[in-house]
Amino acid sequence: MKTTLFHQHGGPEALEYTDFPTPEPKPGEVLVKLKVAALNRMDVMVRNGWPGLKLEMPHINGADGAGEVVALGSPLSMGEGLGVRADDRVVINPNLGCGECDYCLSGWDNMCRNWHLLGETVRGTYAEYVSVPARQLYKLPDNFDFHVAAGAALVYQTAWHSLITRGKLQTGETVLIVGAGGGVNTASIDIAKFSGAQVLVVGSDAKKLGKAEALGADVLIDRSKEENWSKAVFLATNRQGVDVVVDNVGTTFMHSLRALKKGGRLITVGNSGGPKFEIDNRYVFAKHLSIIGSTMSHMTDFSTVMDLVVAGKLKPTLDQSFPLSEAAAAQERLWMGKNFGKITLDIG
């Protein structure tokens, strides 16, 4: 099969468009012929590598993918019990739980004791074929756009699980989203608006803020003009502060803690500004704040959110699409923050 892979960690030049053996589906697995893959910042972090990351080389990036079922591993040759058959159009849930541990058995497979993410520690979707357990597949209706499906899978489940399941977002609440252009942030705007929340977005790029407004954001704060943006949030909310902040930057936590009203929740699913930073703990206890961490989602949330995407009630924002052979250029666009929404790769 054709794939874009890397033999050693490094910059974009480490990626190579080449031939690689097509994976054989193991028992319980399904071979999917991918039509579209979608990028996540995690792809670039894995390509760069970090201390302690051990991969079987060569490695293939990519958590998100959508395509068609071509083969079922024994004993699923008839697709029995799982409702998957050859030619089914599917999108992959990249959250890989073992299906056997206590967390998986209680429905929290994103907390699995042997947790993996497709494309992070196992070979992913920057390829013509990928083999995944049948339970990872969500069936798409005929003619549903593979770009939308692939672009939704990781970020919509992440945003839904953190805002709705963990963050308990309610209709009428106020949500501040730190950052305008990334995939999780655009999904968070979409989901917060769908939930009937008022949405504030703080960003540093006027063009991206304009696009966030087009997605439904109610209040836009340009932090290149208002360095002390927690004050701007305070003023925009009748001096109340917000109920919820989505902060996946990390180094901005102090602003976020200040922007919250008493009893507010700070939700985080990542730290694009780096993993370590200082906070003033007095804000946390004196204001009765909760800091809620979350990653990916469980199977139930994945189907809930994909049902809403398929029904057109949630609408993933798509950026540019590149051919699989130009994955390096696609990753550069993502890493430089030039995108608004999901970057995809055309494969089939």
Mask: binding to Zn ion, 68-97, rule CB under 5 A, as x and -? Answer: -----------------------------x
Closest approach of Zn ion to the CB of residue 110, in Å: 10
d(CA 299, CA 108): 8
Q: Give the side-chain half-sphere CA count within 13 A for 217.
A: 26
Provide φ and ψ at 281, rounded to 5°: -65, -20
Residue among 101, 122, 254, 291 that touches Zn ion (CB under 5 A) = 101
Residue 134 interacting with Zn ion (CB under 5 A): no
- Closer to Zn ion by CB, 113 or 288: give it: 113
Closest approach of Zn ion to the CB of residue 93, in Å: 14
- Closer to Zn ion by CB, 6 or 115: give it: 115
Q: What is the dihedral of CA 66, 71, 76, 78, to 10 degrees?
A: 110
Closest approach of Zn ion to the CB of residue 342, in Å: 28
User: Which residue in 258, 253, 243, 304 sits closest to 275, CA to CA?
Assistant: 253
Residue 31 interacting with Zn ion (CB under 5 A): no
d(CA 145, CA 124): 20
d(CA 115, CA 109): 8
- Closer to Zn ion by CB, 1 or 98: give it: 98
Tokens at residue 346, please?
């055309």
- Closer to Zn ion by CB, 5 or 104: give it: 104
| Residue type for position 96 | L
Q: Which H or E element spans position 101? A: none
Segment interacting with Zn ion (CB under 5 A) among 55-63, 70-78, 99-107, 309-317: 99-107
First to last CA, the chain: 11
- Closer to Zn ion by CB, 6 or 103: give it: 103
- Closer to Zn ion by CB, 112 or 176: give it: 112
Residue among 31, 46, 76, 104 that touches Zn ion (CB under 5 A) = 104
Residue 112 interacting with Zn ion (CB under 5 A): yes
Closest approach of Zn ion to the CB of residue 102, in Å: 8
Closest approach of Zn ion to the CB of residue 98, in Å: 3
Tokens at residue 9, please?
């960690």
Closest approach of Zn ion to the CB of residue 299, in Å: 11
Tokens at residue 239, please?
């001096």
Q: Cα-atom radius of gyration of the chain, to the nearest Å?
A: 20
Query: What number of chain residues touch Zn ion (CB under 5 A)?
Result: 5
CB 91 within 8 A of CB 137: yes
Closest approach of Zn ion to the CB of residue 244, in Å: 29
Segment interacting with Zn ion (CB under 5 A) among 75-83, 104-112, 152-160, 306-314: 104-112
Q: Where are the beta strands (DSSP E) in 160-316?
A: 174-178, 198-203, 219-222, 242-247, 260-268, 290-293
Segment interacting with Zn ion (CB under 5 A) among 27-35, 105-113, 299-307, 339-347: 105-113
- Closer to Zn ion by CB, 97 or 341: give it: 97
How many CB atoms sit inside 10 A of residue 242's CB?
28
What does the binding site for Zn ion look like in residue numbers (CB under 5 A)?
A: 97-98, 101, 104, 112
